[in-house]
Each structure stands twice: as C-alpha cells, then as structure tokens.
C-alpha cells in the first residue's frame, strides 16, 4: 500500500486518538466509560498501523509520528499515573534509544566525519605544504617538523588541550547548526573531519605521527563519537523542517527537537569524561599503546551501549483492567 493511501485511510482515527489524549490530559480518571473504550480501540488500531508503517515505509516520517502517538496512548491506557523518568532510566535506557532510533542520520554524520578525514590524510601525506593551509594556527605544532625528537612537551600539552576544546565546541555547534535545514550540521562536521585529517596526515609526513596518536587517541575516540551523535541530532531537526510528512512543520520540528535535546543532554557526561581522560591520562604521558587501549575501549563501551541499550522498547503486554478494556473493544475496521 502506498504511504499516501495508508495515511488518508487511517488519518481520521489517528486524529481522534490524539484529540482523546489531549482532552483527557494525563489522568485516565478524567475520561468517561465510552471514552475509555474508544481509547482502547484506537490505541490497538494505531499500534497495528505502526507495525505496518515500520514494515512497509521504514524511512517515512509517518513512522516517527505513529511512534509518538502510540507511546502517548500506551501511557494513557496502561499507567494509572504518569511516571517521571529517573536519571537512572534516562542514562540507562532513554538516551541510547534516542541515539539509535534514527540510524540513517547517525550513519550520515559518521560518514561526513570519517570520509573527509580519510581523504585529507592522504592529501596531507602526499602534499603537506598545501594541506597545512587548511590547518588552523593552534594545530600547526603537530604539523610542523621539529627534528628527530618530534613535538616538544609544551607543544604536545597545548595541542591535546586545543583538540579537546575544539571537539567540545564542535559537538554543541553541530547540534545547534542543524536548525539550518540540517546543512549547517553537515558542513560543520565535514569541515572538522577535513581538519582532523589534514593535521593527522601532516603530522605523519613530518615525523610526528606517534606523538599525534599518543596525545589524541585516548580522549579523541569518544570526543569524535560525541561530535557525530550531536551532528546527527542536529540533522534530525533540520530534516523535520525539510520533510515534515503529514505533520505541520512546527509540530515536526518540536517533536524532533525534544528527542534531539535528550541526545545532547545525554552526551554531556561523555564529553566530560573525555575531558577527564585528557586532563589526567593524556597529560600523564602513559604512552601510545595505553592511550590506544583506553581510547578504543571507551569508544567500544559507548557504541556497545548504543546497540544493546538502544533497542526499541517492546509494546507493553495487556494487564489488569486495561487488558479487559482492550479485549472488549473491537478493532477499527480497515
């Protein structure tokens, strides 16, 4: 079934369900018996529609709309009172679900960071003089040749601090720039990927490759992960403006902005962790191998949590009085 026909046939029930949820507020006791029965029927229909949309139209904005509607209706049907999510729930589950729920945006953000970096590494190794022009002044210490000993202690300390500060700024700027139809976030993350590649390639070409890896890897893996995740959140907001689907643009933007802000708030502790690693591990000079082990290890923990804890929640099973309501209520006809 085409998505336009699917929406036109089911739009009426979705609107009715939304109106019932708004009219009843958050507390089920405000609804009469007829409204409760109707709510159960509409919820079952919307849940079935969500399953159809996920299977037949996985990339369409209608999926996000139905996910939001079904989640609200499930809370109204099954919960006696709304439950405020605890910090434990937020950092243990909610954040990871939000990061994973738009895999295409996340994959695009990672590609926009990695591909320019790989290309400029090759360019800088082959033509270091030209690539240096792309490198900001504060990163030049890693690119310029300093003799057989590589970067000095003061240079490495200043360089790693500059990298950390830059990545933190880019993390939040990439999110904020997403409001420019998603293009702002894409440009920022791609540009910084190119700078990273130019610095890395120039450092390798001038004999500073080991020092560069030693003073960046330990905190850089998780920092770059945060940059990609924040950029994906920003692009989600921009895409909601460009392609709101059947929703009004203002509503689509508001819904995506709420999820994106959750992502940014949940990313902040990981940015802080990167700063702690930079301040207490990188500066201590433990060496290249421990830095790689730590950096890759922290990055692996983060992305494992995205995969494992970010799985979409399963629909809640019928229970108690709500189960009787849903069993008694007939499913809406197709």
Q: Which helix (H) or strand (E) holds 125?
A: helix 103-126
E strand spans, the chain? none
Residue 69, token pair as written in the block:
């509607």
- Residue 315: its pLDDT value, please? 53
Least confident of 113-122, 186-195, 210-219: 210-219
Looking at per-residue pLDDT, the higher value among 147 and 37 belongs to 37
Which of 135-158 are b and which e, b meaning 16 or more Cβ less than 10 Å from the residue's Cβ? beeebebbbeeeeeebbeeebbeb
Q: In the predicted model, is pLDDT for residue 132 greater than 50? A: yes
Q: How many CA atoms lie within 13 A of 154 on its CB side?
A: 1
- Residue 146: its pLDDT value, please? 54
Average pLDDT over every residue of 72-86? 66
State the pLDDT confidence band at 159, using cuts at 50, 70 and 90: low
Average pLDDT over every residue of 109-126? 95
State the pLDDT confidence band at 151, using cuts at 50, 70 and 90: low
**Whole-number Å distance between alpha carbons of 196 and 183:** 20
What crossing angle do the helices spanning 61-78 and 320-328 adopt, rounded to 10°? Answer: 120
- Residue 26: its pLDDT value, please? 47
State the pLDDT confidence band at 327, using cuts at 50, 70 and 90: very low
State the pLDDT confidence band at 3, using cuts at 50, 70 and 90: confident
Q: In the predicted model, is pLDDT for residue 183 greater than 70? A: yes
Average pLDDT over every residue of 193-218? 89
**Whole-number Å distance between alpha carbons of 192 and 177:** 14
- Residue 216: its pLDDT value, please? 87
Q: Is 310 in contact with 93 (CB distance < 8 Å)? A: no
- Residue 320: its pLDDT value, please? 42
Q: Is 160 in contact with 277 (CB distance < 8 Å)? A: no
State whether residue 283 is helix, strand or coil: coil
- Residue 74: its pLDDT value, please? 84
Longest dimension (CA), the chain: 83
State whether residue 165 is helix, strand or coil: helix
Query: CA distances (Å), 159 to each of 15, 178, 209, 221, 281, in order?
Result: 56, 28, 13, 16, 15
Q: Which helix (H) or strand (E) holds 27?
A: none
State the pLDDT confidence band at 165, using cuts at 50, 70 and 90: confident
- Residue 25: its pLDDT value, please? 55
């Amino acid at each position: 079934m085409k998505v336009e026909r699917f929406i036109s046939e089911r739009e009426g029930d979705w609107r009715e369900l939304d109106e019932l949820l708004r009219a009843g507020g958050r507390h089920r006791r405000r609804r009469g018996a007829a409204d409760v029965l109707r709510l159960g029927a509409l919820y079952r229909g919307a849940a079935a529609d969500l399953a159809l949309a996920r299977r037949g139209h996985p990339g369409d904005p209608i999926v996000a709309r139905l996910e939001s509607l079904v989640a609200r209706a499930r809370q109204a049907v099954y919960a006696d009172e709304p439950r405020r999510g605890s910090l434990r729930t937020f950092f243990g589950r909610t954040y990871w679900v939000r990061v994973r729920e738009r895999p295409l945006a996340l994959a695009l953000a990672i590609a926009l960071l990695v591909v320019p970096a790989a290309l400029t590494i090759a360019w800088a190794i082959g033509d270091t003089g030209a690539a240096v022009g792309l490198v900001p002044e504060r990163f030049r210490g890693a690119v310029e040749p300093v003799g057989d000993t590589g970067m000095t202690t003061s240079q490495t300390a200043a360089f790693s601090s500059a990298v950390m500060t830059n990545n933190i700024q880019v993390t939040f700027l990439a999110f904020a720039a997403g409001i420019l139809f998603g293009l702002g976030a894409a440009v920022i993350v791609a540009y910084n990927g190119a700078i990273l590649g130019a610095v890395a390639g120039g450092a390798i070409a001038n004999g500073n490759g080991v020092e560069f890896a030693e003073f960046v890897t330990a905190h850089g893996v998780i920092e770059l992960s945060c940059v990609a995740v924040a950029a994906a959140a920003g692009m989600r907001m921009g895409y909601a403006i460009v392609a709101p689907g059947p929703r009004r643009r203002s509503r689509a933007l508001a819904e995506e902005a709420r999820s994106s802000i959750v992502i940014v708030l949940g990313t902040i502790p990981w940015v802080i962790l990167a700063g702690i690693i930079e301040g207490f591990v990188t500066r201590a000079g433990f060496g290249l191998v421990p830095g790689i082990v730590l950096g890759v290890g922290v990055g692996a923990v983060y992305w494992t949590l995205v995969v494992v804890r970010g799985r979409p929640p399963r629909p809640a099973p019928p229970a108690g009085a709500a189960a009787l309501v849903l069993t008694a209520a007939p499913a809406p006809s197709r």
